[in-house]
Amino acid sequence: MATFEDAEAARKAHQDRLAAMGAHAIEIQPLGDRSGYELIVHFADPPTFGVPSSLITTIGGKTLTVPMRMVTRPT
C-alpha cells in the first residue's frame, strides 16, 4: 500500500490535473484498515466526466499506485 510519502508525491504530481477537473482541495488520509494512505479529492460540484479511483506516479524509478476517493459537497 501507499505510504504517506507516496501519497504526497502523487498529490504533488497530479494536483494541477485534478484542479483542472474542478478539485478545490486534496487531502491525505490513512486507509480505514491503516494499511496505507489514500488521497481524498474534494469537488464543489460532481465532475461531468470520470474521475480515477487511483493515481499512478513514479518515485526514484519505482511506479506507485495511490488509491483516491472523490468527495462532493452536500446539496
CATH number of residue 23's parent domain: 3.30.300
Cβ–Cβ < 8 Å for 10, 39 = yes
Whether residue 57 contacts residue 14, with contact meaning beta carbons closer than 8 Å, is answered with: yes
Q: How far apart are CA 71 and CA 15, in angstroms?
A: 15
pLDDT of residue 75: 62
Domain extent for 65? 4-72
Provide the residue-wise pLDDT of the chain in tens; the chain has 75 residues. Answer: 899 999 999 999 999 999 999 999 999 999 999 999 999 999 998 888 888 999 999 988 999 999 999 999 876
Look at the chain and report how many structural domains it folds into: 1
